[in-house]
Structure 1
Amino acid sequence: MAKPRLQAAVLVISDTASQDPSTDRARAVLGDLIAIEGNDQWDITKHDIVPDDVSAIQRAVTKYCDGEDYVNFLITTGGTGFSMKDCTPEAVVPLIHKHAPGLVHGMLAASLEITPFAVMSRPVAGVRNRTLIVTLPGSPKGAKENLQAILKLVPHACHQAAGGDSRTMHAGGVEKLEDEAGVSSNKRQKVYHHDHSHNHSHSHSHSHSHGGHIVPRAHTRPEDRPVSNDPRAGPSNRYRESPYPMLSVDDAVSLIIQYSPSPEPIIMPVNGSLVGYILAEDVHAHYPVPAYRASIVDGYAVIVSKDGPSTKGVFPVDSVSHAAPGEVPALQRGQISRITTGAPLPPGANAVVMVEDTVLRSMTDDGQEEKVVEILTDQVKPDENIREVGSDIKAGEIVLRKGEEVTDVGGELGLLASVGKAKVFVYRKPVVGVLSTGDEIVMHDRPGPLRLGEVRDCNRPALMAAIKGWGFQVLDYGIARDKPGSLEEHLRNALRNVDVIVTSGGVSMGELDLLKPTIERSLGGTIHFGRVNMKPGKPTTFATISLKDNEGDPATKLIFSLPGNPASALVTSHLFVLPSLLHSSGKERAHGLAQVRVILEEEIRCDPKRPEYHRVSIVAGQDGFLHASSTGGQRSSKVGSLRRANGLLVLPAREGTVAKGEMSDALLMGRLGGL
């Protein structure tokens, strides 16, 4: 038998909101939270606003808790700080019959994970009669964080407080209660401990040294899941080959799309900054285009009789109508008005005669204007050469559809501007951070020759240029050294400010390849794949990290750890990073690079073991076909193979070659050249 729905009330305690209710934002935030995360168990039936006054607070609390019309859960927000007027705890504590310090501890513990200033709050929780009372901070963000920490546990407390039978409710044990609430204890979660024995068994204690991350409840056993090398394991205990299964490129892209965040609508002004964004809603025209009856030619506005032609003859020029704004005098029968293309039709006029069908007969005395004009034709009909109101776009008409891109061609911007749109909803673009890793990496612009073993950092500038070229904001996070602390610090700094981190290097099998262990063991992330069946780029790694953003809301951040060899890094960025960014930006069917058919200009050998993405230069030939030429040796470390590369020839894993003149599939990375 289903449990009855629970009744909740929100009491806002604020001098300001009691005088102007429109200033209260906390109630709406809490209502949304309960609706979204309350497992459809709640009805918020009552709400009120009272000033910071002990008597007023106590009257409201007893109203909601006493008598038969009680609520199961009373939430107060505001008045829990240290200012002179904050008095919510002083008002509520004397009214509580049973205190609930565990709920208070849960709220404070959750808030302390976000800010040390959580200790400056004075929450209270307890039961009065059959009502559970919880006091929350006045800030919407703080109130949301506190309630979010306990919300799934509150229904059980409310059913007990309302008189539920504890023996029946607890039948099945704590695990049953946890499953019903949708929570799990640390004891039931699978968390990898930092200390791994030589046979890679896993401790389940939650002892991460950086605050820890509660890992979502897993549905697989630890021994069935691949896990990265333990950096502290001795040489005899390190993996000799990767524990991660080898995925196809298509399967890897599918996983990336599955775990990339859904598009998030934002509002933006209609200007040049809108280029590259995807519309998040249909756009309707506020106003018709044109907004007035306008001439489509240079000529003369006239009054044509509906009974028959009457335009031929000599007429005085009464006025001039330019495209510039201004009042246009009404036209009388027997008069004409000189008019330019796009200018509004004078009131009374119903047609325009082209200037080619007229002859100037006289000028004004000062010689500045036309005085008399002869019209040579009597064939002009009513409404001829006139653009009617709304003939291009009617008011209310859909001019652009949700999912369309605002391109740099300019047509979409011009259309939005023409119908009077000042702002539109679009999907937010992810912000990307780029990081190089390795003790051997030095800044590319460092003067002087390289020392033995040093390598100039060419990956970071190349990756940042590619991402910027795709139309995304990119931030530079420098070079992290092959030390766990350095890499973790760089990643944590980036996670605070970006949605996606792209790293290069540190993803192979050496003892100094620390990216996978750092993501899994130090950051609590999940590695979704660590190898891809492709050439170049086999050790490409994709991971997600669940955390709270700077506003305290749950967020998923992505990490793409690309190989350190320059060709591998650039190729895999186009194949894997780009589809994720496009998906989260609202691009439907976000496959990344466009696939084209090309004619090979030379014979190219295939790899018998792995599909290969061969760097090529693609040009449009005079024969109307696309032609592809190899950029040279394809070793993944060969930087020269990136020169002129604007495409990737998709070669299957097989023996033999693709012959010169043969048609083959290619992925287009950049603009086409021409022969």
Structure 2
Amino acid sequence: MAGQRLKAAILIVSDTASRDHSTDKVGGVLTETFGQQGDRWDKPTVAIVPDNILEIQRHVSRWADGEDHFNLIITSGGTGFALKDHTPEAVLPLIHRHAPGLVHAMLATSLEITPFAMMARPVAGIRHKSIVLTVPGSPKGAKECVEAVIKLLPHACIQAAGADSRTLHAGGIQKLEKEAGVVPSASDKDHHHCQHHGHGHGHAIPKAHTTLAERPSSNDPAVGPTRRYRTSPYPMISVDEALKLVSEYTPDPTIVEVPVGISLVGAVLAEDVFAAEAVPAYRASIVDGYAVIAPSSPGNGKSTKGEFPVASVSHAQAASMPPPLDSGSIARITTGAPLPDNANAVVMVEDTVLVSATPDGKEEAVVEILTADIEIGENIREPGSDVKLGSKILEKGDLITAVGGEIGLLTSTGTKTVKIYKKPCIGVLSTGDELVEHDASVKLTGGQIRDLNRPSLISCLTSWGFPTVDLGIAKDTSGHLEEILRDAMRGSSPSNPTGVDVIITTGGVSMGELDLLKPTIERQLGGTIHFGRVSMKPGKPTTFATVPFKPSASTSKERETKVIFSLPGNPASALVTLNLFVLPSLHKAMGLTQRGLPVVKASLTHSIPKDPKRTEYHRAIVGSSEVDGRMIATSTGITGVGQRSSRVGSLAKANALLVLEPGSGSIEKGQLVEALMMGPIA
């Protein structure tokens, strides 16, 4: 497949172009774009259809299904907010596997050109063996989006067609980048050390003065400080690679059945839910007024206008149905109350006047209706008009939000229980003999510090809605650390009776002789460390591992998989990596498809120096400009110790992490940067 030419099809979605093909400009522009890619692509097939969901689906299905499929299918047009823009709705049901990375690449490229790109609704994914993309209907917008991804599309198409990934990736990422023509520039590959004089951090960045070849071999840290590792045995990987490993090795969610109630808020449904009861279950009035028998046609002396005796009263809280209504009489009725049998309309109280009351003066005896224009069915809510019996009210994967709409649907239809994905329980542990409880009434001595990581992390996890267990502080001994980790997984205390699913630790992951987490996970617990260093700032020593664990009370031979995130001890590093790596894992474990922090583009209010080697996750405040409403980003500190990893104050008011790619110089004021939103817009 790698040596074959690939086939592309372009579907123009336009009412105008479907009537007059000469008005289409996109087909020619995209055909030329593919022609500029050398001999990788055959000349694309182009078709034009009106803005019609069935027509779009018919073409995409025909092109993607069967042996003679197209490798790439691009639709152009119908991706905006106009009422007739239905292309995303047409394409989404056809997608078997989504490709959010392609969507992100197209949007990121377009947003660099115009903020109006946020008005697009692109879709990308795989149907059978075909890649499917939707792009805007303008020639310029369509070309920009296709050019953003076209160099990597051959690799994606080859994989989607069934090629062996191991063989494709045998040469490493650099080989793939070179083949695709996206080799990083020399400045991106520069690995020299510098002291960041322009950063104003008030301290020089630590640097080694020897090369790897000049250092002695690394040894097992378990035998003491004289033979500890001198160089980390864990390769430095990118953030994207780390996130892929987190997604791959986080266990799939567990399904549980629970009662319907407010405790469901924040849960994800594990099944489609169908209405157990119709809403309303009876014919109900939508106004306060009078139930009447309206004539099917005017004339013959029949009319709703005139004076009528009030035969009965129907209240919304009634436990039984009101008596049937006889011809020539009316029934007083309140909003939401059931209609008497024979009644077929409701007159608003505003269209009536009281003629007389009962002798005791407590009830209406005769009421005059002032209009003859009442129609059959007026002001009536029919049974099942809101929700039909047996209709699908919520779908698998829906999040039960605090807004109340989902809870309202479930309770109104008589749903008693639902199946959801169980939220993982998380244990939070700090490590280090130097740590003192944050609320301890002692004066710090020597190298003691108060443990601020646990309260900070537990606060964040609780705000996300996850159950947490405080595991306390572990001493700097391998035996004590192992004991706490095993007890946490086993569940051996009133606060943790069943064991945690995820353990988050802080500290103990660097190169000191007392940094024992990694060897304890590997040797004592038999776990697997999937990565131990990430090319990022802050958070380089972040570690992700899984441990096979058999609960002591289990009779099954199957072992459970427990997840361990060992985060750096520096407070800012711990909170940044919690948001960046732990949150997507927890989202997967609870059944969410959209994982991690939401991403926006924001304009810098000042320049920020770049780190020459690592991607920086810069703490910032993102808000909207009072002048033009644009999203703007302001650092929480770029002077002094501003963004130092030990400075938790840089997160005190931050609601976002700015993703700053490495390089020389600075990112200038006014430039758009990617922002990961940790909280609401300021």
Q: Name which of 313, 322, 329 aligns with 2:315.
A: 322
Partners of 2:458 and 2:681 lie apart in 1 by 21
Distance 1:353 1:289, change over 3 A: same
1:621-653 residue CA offsets vs partner (Å, 9 max, x unmatched): 433332221111100001221210111001001
Secondary structure at the counterpart of residue 356 of structure 1: helix
Q: Which amino acid aligns with 1:284?
A: F
Aligned to 2:287: 297
Instruction: Tell me which residue corresponds to 2:574.
Output: 569
Equivalence for 1:101: none
Question: Counterparts of 1:252 and 1:323 in 2: how far apart (Å)?
Answer: 58
TM-score, normalised relative to structure 2: 0.64
1:551 matches 2:549: no
Question: Among 242, 254, 261, which residue is 1:252 paired with?
Answer: 242
- Write out per-residue CA displacement over residues 583-605 of structure 1, whole angstroms, 9 at most, x where no aligned residue: 01000142x10001112222111
What CA distance in whole angstroms lies between the structure 1 residues aligned with 2:541 and 2:445?
Answer: 27
* TM superposition shift of 1:548: 1.2
1:306 alignment partner AA: S
* Counterpart selection for 2:448 from 447, 451, 454: 454
Spell out, residue by residue over 1:117-173, the C-alpha distance to the aligned partner (whole angstroms, 9 max, x if none).
Answer: xxxxxxxxxxxxxxxxxxxxxxxxxxxxxxxxxxxxxxxxxxxxxxxxxxxxxxxxx
Maintained 8 Å contact 1:228/1:516: no
Are the counterparts in 2 of residues 270 and 421 from structure 1 also a CA contact under 8 Å? yes
Residues 430 and 499, structure 1, Cα contact 8 Å, conserved in 2: yes
Aligned residue among 382, 393, 400 for 1:388: 382
Relative to structure 1, is the Cα distance of residues 335 and 593 closer, same or farther in structure 2, using a 3 angstrom cutoff? same
Alignment CA distance shift 1:274-1:457 (3 Å) = same
The answer to whether the 8 A contact 2:224-2:513 is kept is no
| Aligned with 1:285 (options 275, 292, 296) | 275
- SS of 2:263's equivalent in the other structure is helix
Counterpart secondary structure, 1:434: strand
Residue deviations 1:191-226 (CA, integer Å, cap 9, x gap): xxxxxxxxxxxxxxxxxxxxxxxxxxxxxxxxxxxx
The residue aligned with 2:505 is 503
User: In terms of mean alpha carbon deviation, does 598-607 or 260-269 score higher?
Assistant: 598-607
Contact 1:319/1:337 (8 A) holds in 2 = yes
CA gap 1:621/1:410 in 2 versus in 1, 3 angstroms: farther
Map 1:154-165 onto structure 2 (within 5 A): none
1:519-530 → structure 2 map (5 Å cutoff): 519-530=521-532
Structure 1 residue ranges, 4+ long, deviating more than 4 angstroms after superposition: none
1:143-158 equivalences in 2 (<5 Å): none
Contact 1:350 1:382 in 2 (8 A): yes
Aligned to 1:45: none
**CA distance in structure 1 between the aligned counterparts of 2:589 and 2:555, rounded to whole angstroms:** 20
Structure 2: distance between partners of 1:257 and 1:522: 25
Task: Quote the Cα distance in structure 2 between the aligned partners of 1:473 and 1:333.
Answer: 62
Letter matched to residue 344 of structure 1 = P
* Amino acid across the alignment from 1:233: V
User: In structure 2, how many angstroms separate the alpha carbons of the residues matched to 1:625 and 1:228?
Assistant: 52
Structure 2 match to 1:584: 589
Instruction: Note if contact 1:245-1:529 (Cα within 8 Å) is conserved in structure 2.
Output: yes
What whole-Å deviation, never above 9, does each CA across 1:514-569 have from its counterpart, x for those lacking one? 00000011111110000001000000000101121342442000100000000000
Task: Measure how far apart 1:501 and its partner are.
Answer: 0.2
Moved more, 304-313 or 282-291: 304-313
**Paired residues for 1:197-208 under 5 Å:** none
In structure 2, the residue matched to 1:186 is none
List per-residue Cα deviations over 1:86-107 (Å, max 9, x = no partner): xxxxxxxxxxxxxxxxxxxxxx
Alignment check: 8 A CA contact 2:345 2:374 kept: yes
- The one-letter code sitting in structure 1 at the alignment partner of 2:630 is F
Q: Which structure 2 residues correspond to residues 116-515 of structure 1 after superposition, within 5 A?
A: 230-233=220-223, 235=225, 237-308=227-298, 310-327=303-320, 328-496=322-490, 497-515=499-517
Report the Cα distance in structure 1 between the residues aligned to 2:341 and 2:655, rounded to whole angstroms: 58
CA distance in structure 2 between the aligned counterparts of 1:502 and 1:665, rounded to whole angstroms? 27
Aligned residues of 2:602 and 2:632 also touching (Cα < 8 A): yes
Q: Is the 8 A contact 1:280 1:403 kept in 2?
A: yes
Q: Which amino acid aligns with 2:288?
A: D
Give the aligned residue type for 1:567. Answer: A
Asked whether the equivalents of residues 542 and 567 of structure 2 are also in contact (C-alpha less than 8 Å), the reply is: yes
Asked if 1:607 is matched to 2:616, the reply is no
Question: How many equivalent residue pairs?
Answer: 446
Structure number with larger C-alpha Rg: 1
Alignment-derived partner of residue 637 in structure 1: 646
Per the alignment, do residues 654 and 516 of structure 1 end up closer, same or farther by CA in structure 2, a change over 3 Å counting?
same
Q: 1:336 to 1:234 in 2, by over 3 A?
A: closer
Residue from 627, 634, 648 that aligns with 2:657: 648
User: What amino acid maps onto 2:237 in structure 1?
Assistant: L
Between the aligned residues of both structures, percent identity stands at: 60
Letter in 2 for 1:580: S
Q: Can you give the 5+ residue segments of structure 1 that lack an aligned partner in the other structure?
A: 1-226
Residue 228 of structure 1 and its aligned partner are, at CA, apart by 9.1
* 2:631 aligned residue (626, 634, 650): 626
Do the aligned residues in 2 keep the contact of 1:228 with 1:520 (CA within 8 Å)?
A: no
1:188 corresponds to which residue? none
Equivalent-residue separation in structure 2 for 1:272 and 1:284 (angstroms): 19
Q: Which residue does 1:179 correspond to in 2?
A: none
Given the superposition, is the C-alpha separation of residues 228 and 316 from structure 1 closer, same or farther in structure 2, using an over 3 Å criterion? farther
Equivalent position of 2:189 in the other structure:
none
SS of the aligned residue for 2:454 comes to helix
Distance 1:400-1:228 versus aligned 2 partners, 3 A rule: farther
How far, CA to CA, are the matches of 2:610 and 2:359 in structure 1? 86
Q: Which amino acid aligns with 1:630?
A: S
State the superposition RMSD in angstroms: 1.4
Give, in angstroms, the shift of residue 229 of structure 1.
Answer: 5.8
**Mapping 1:658-669, distance limit 5 Å:** 658-669=667-678
Residue 207 of structure 1: aligned partner: none
Aligned to 2:56: none
Give the C-alpha shift of residue 235 in structure 1.
Answer: 4.6
| Kept in 2: contact 1:228–1:517 (CA 8 A) | no
Amino acid at match of 1:440: E
Using the TM superposition, give the Cα deviation of residue 353 of structure 1 relative to its aligned residue in structure 2, in angstroms: 0.8
Separation (CA, whole Å) in 2 of partners of 1:528 and 1:409: 38
Contact 1:596–1:668 (8 Å) recurs in 2: yes
Kindly provide the amino acid, as one letter, of the partner of residue 668 in structure 1.
M
Residue 236 of structure 2 aligns to a residue in which SS? coil
TM-score by length of structure 1 reads 0.65
One-letter amino acid of the structure 2 residue matched with residue 575 of structure 1? L
Correspondence for 2:539:
537
Tell me, yes or no, if the aligned pair for 1:599 and 1:661 is still in contact at 8 Å: yes
Name structure 2 gaps, 5 residues minimum: 1-216, 491-498
The one-letter amino acid of 2:256's match is I
C-alpha distance in 2 between matches for 1:240 and 1:669: 36
| C-alpha distance in 2 between matches for 1:369 and 1:381 | 27
Query: Which amino acid in structure 2 is aligned with residue 423 of structure 1?
Result: T
Which region of structure 1 is more displaced relative to structure 2, 392-401 or 227-236?
A: 227-236
- Equivalent position amino acid for 1:311 in 2: T
Q: 2: CA distance between counterparts of 1:589 and 1:616? A: 23
